[in-house]
Amino acid sequence: MIFVKQKFGNFVELCSTFLLFYKIREESSMVEKFMKKAGLLLLVVLTLVACGKKEDSKIKIGITQIVEHPALDAARKGFMEVLQASEFASRVEFEEKSAQGDMAVAQTIAEGFVNDKKDMILAIATPTAQASFNATKEIPILITAVTDPKAAGLVGENITGTSDATPIEKQFALLKQLLPNAKKIGIVYNLGEQNSEIQVASAKALASKFGFTIETVGVSNVNEIAQALDALLPKVDALYEPTDNLVASAMPLIAEKSIANKKAVITGEKGMVEAGGLATEGIDYYELGKQTGEMAIKVLKGEKPNTLAIKTLEKTELVINMKTLNALGLTLPADLDKKATKVE
């Protein structure tokens, strides 16, 4: 009896132990299932939060401009307005900086944008585009008001934008029409701007087609322009000033001295005419900036910069400064009078 009781007692204990083990295991399984569900829920929440943050995060765009003058200012304005009217309007944050014509400052600005981890850089004009491309090969760079991106070495995976290639042939034809007796044409240009070197070379190549000879004077800073004009103006029949940023910033001085010497200035763009030049057949830099802004939107949507070809504006506008025309004692031909945009 004692043996049976002991065996039975052991059996009862064994059953109790088994039942307890099963219960613990079942509870553990429930806890495990709960933890799995809780973990999955947490993952979903974190994903939604992360997506929400990405969707709402600011897009920091650094804007670097070599110098302030009407053409470059118009390009900047056009770019910003397109972004401010886009689906990214509430997210874009612009930081605008000018290098004041100093290449070393342009490089410092570009490096600062990289250190600040900007999401995009808008580089306005060749020197600032080169500085930005030197500073980063990763941050997307949109360029504008760059004469010849390829010649300037602006080719890479993170760069695209627009060129302001000047229609020099149209501008020389305009000069010939307004000043049929002009033979010797003077150009003051910045020795430090590759875009200016390119345009001077193009002007020289086209000159013989119109019966022109070209006389050039290179300058290194804005303080040298007055002296260059004093030396050049007595030797030439007219001035041609392409889209040189240093020269454009000094256009009021150039216009004043040219008018005093009874010499006309044909310019590379509208802003230089508004500042006192006689005339241009040129592109609209505001529209160029807008075109660059449209390309920036494509990049923000995920397109790679190097898949977007550099664009130019085909349409040009004839602009005449009537105050300068009268000061020089010139008459506007009837065909030009009909189609010209007139400024004073």
Read off the pLDDT band of 15 (50, 70, 90).
Answer: very low
Q: How far apart are the first and last CA of the chain?
A: 127
**Segments forming the whole domain that contains residue 336:** 168-282+316-343
pLDDT score, position 230: 97
Same domain (yes/no): 51, 86 = no
Q: Are 297 and 283 in contact (CB under 8 A)?
A: no
Backbone angles phi, psi at 337, to 5 degrees: -60, -35
Residues 132, 112: Cα–Cα separation, whole Å: 10
Average of per-residue pLDDT values in the chain: 89
Co-location of 220 and 250 in the same domain: yes
* 62 and 4 co-located in one domain: no
Work out the number of other CB atoms within 10 angstroms of the CB of residue 10: 10
Q: With contact defined as beta carbons under 8 Å apart, do 236 and 186 qualify?
A: yes
Q: Are 74 and 123 in contact (CB under 8 A)?
A: no
Number of other CB atoms surrounding residue 327 within 10 Å: 17
Give dist(CA 127, CA 244) in Å, integer. 11
Per the CB < 8 A criterion, the answer to whether 261 and 215 are in contact is no
Amino acid found at 28: S
Query: Do 63 and 94 belong to one domain?
Result: yes
pLDDT bucket at 14, cuts 50 / 70 / 90: very low
80 in Cβ contact with 94 (< 8 Å):
yes
Tell me: do 157 and 177 sit in the same domain.
no
Q: Which pLDDT score, from 0 to 100, does residue 37 have?
A: 55
**How would you classify residue 276: left for phi > 0, otherwise alpha for psi between -120 and 50, otherwise beta?**
left
Q: Are 207 and 333 part of one and the same domain?
A: yes
Do 308 and 273 lie in one domain? The reply is: no
Q: How many domains does the chain have?
A: 3
52/116 same-domain check: no
CATH code, 295 = 3.40.50.2300
Confidence (pLDDT) at 45: 45
Give me the pLDDT at residue 111, please.
98
Q: Report, as an integer, the average pLDDT of 115-126.
A: 98
C-alpha to C-alpha distance for 340 and 94, rounded to whole angstroms: 36
Please check whether residues 180 and 328 belong to one and the same domain.
yes
* pLDDT, tens digit (0-9, with 9 covering 90-100), for 68-85: 999 999 999 999 999 999
What is the distance between the alpha carbons of residues 336 and 270, in angstroms, rounded to a whole number? 16
pTM: 0.79
Tokens representing 117 are 């981890």
Nearest to 288 by CA among 134, 157, 135, 166: 166
* pLDDT value of position 11: 45
Give me the mean pLDDT over the 315-338 stretch: 96
**Angle at which helices 251-260 and 225-232 pack, to 10 degrees?**
30
When mean pLDDT is compared across 50-64, 105-119, 209-223, 236-250, the lowest value belongs to: 50-64
Comparing CA positions, the residue from 48, 78, 62 lying closest to residue 164 is 78
pLDDT digits (tens, 9 = 90+) for 158-215: 999 999 999 999 999 999 999 999 999 999 999 999 999 999 999 999 999 999 999 9
Do 98 and 180 lie in one domain? The reply is: no
Domain boundary among 57, 83, 102: 57
Is the pLDDT confidence value at 32 over 80? no
Does residue 333 sit in the same domain as residue 246? yes
Mapped onto helix, strand or coil, the DSSP state of residue 313 is coil
**Pair (191, 110) in one structural domain:** no
- Of 39, 57, 75, which residue sits at a domain end? 57
- The reported pLDDT for the residue numbered 23 is 56
